[in-house]
Structure 1
Amino acid sequence: MGHDEVENYENNQELALFREYRDVVPLFRYVVETERRFYLANQVDVQARSTGGEVFFDIELTDAWVWDIYRSSRFVKSVRVITFKDVNVEELAKSELDMPN
């Protein structure tokens, strides 16, 4: 497979992922962003914890969707994420969930 074929494949995968996001976003209540991933979820619990002087975040998501082009199934019943970077959790108003066509 040549460089152009790989690039076209990745571009098509990203476009398909965006389309899937657009279709599923109305099903979820929260958007969760970490340094590595982007999630949609219906329940979110974030706990700030510390060990050895370092602070980290323990995040539990229920009924979630994961933004990742390499996952075969992006819908998950529950996810636990540990991150040492900031986490952003937003509860979306219903009007924000309506994506333009």
Structure 2
Amino acid sequence: MSAEDLENYENEMELALYREYRDVVGLFSYVVETERRFYLANQVDLQVRSAGGEVYFEVRLSDAWVWDVYRSARFVKSVRVVTFKDVNVEELAKAEMAL
């Protein structure tokens, strides 16, 4: 496989992931960004913890979707994330239903 073939494959995977995101984003209430991942979730519990003088964040997500091109199953029932970096949680605006 050439470098160009590999780059084309990765580009196609990223595009497919974006399309999947676009299709599922309306199913979720929150966007969660951590230092390593991007999640969509319907329930988020963010706790600030400390141990040994260090502050860290524990995030528990339920009914979630993970932005990860290398995961075969991006829908997960629950996720627990522990990070020492900031966590960004945003509530998504629900589109008005058209009658």
TM-score bracket for this pair, using the shorter chain length: over 0.9
Aligned-pair identity in percent equals 77
Write the letter of the residue equivalent to 1:23. Answer: D
Cα distance in 1 for residues equivalent to 2:61 and 2:7: 32
SS of the equivalent of 1:94 reads: coil
Write the letter of the residue equivalent to 1:24. Answer: V
Please provide the CA RMSD for this pair: 0.5
SS of the equivalent of 2:86 reads: coil
Give the gaps of 5 or more residues in structure 2. none
- Per the TM alignment, residue 17 of structure 1 is displaced from its structure 2 partner at its CA by 0.1
Structure 2 counterpart of 1:7: 7
TM-score of the superposition, structure 1-length normalised? 0.93
- Per the TM alignment, residue 93 of structure 1 is displaced from its structure 2 partner at its CA by 1.0
TM-score of the superposition, structure 2-length normalised? 0.94
Which runs of at least 4 in structure 1 moved beyond 2 Å after TM superposition? none
Give the gaps of 5 or more residues in structure 1. 96-101
Write the letter of the residue equivalent to 1:44. Answer: V
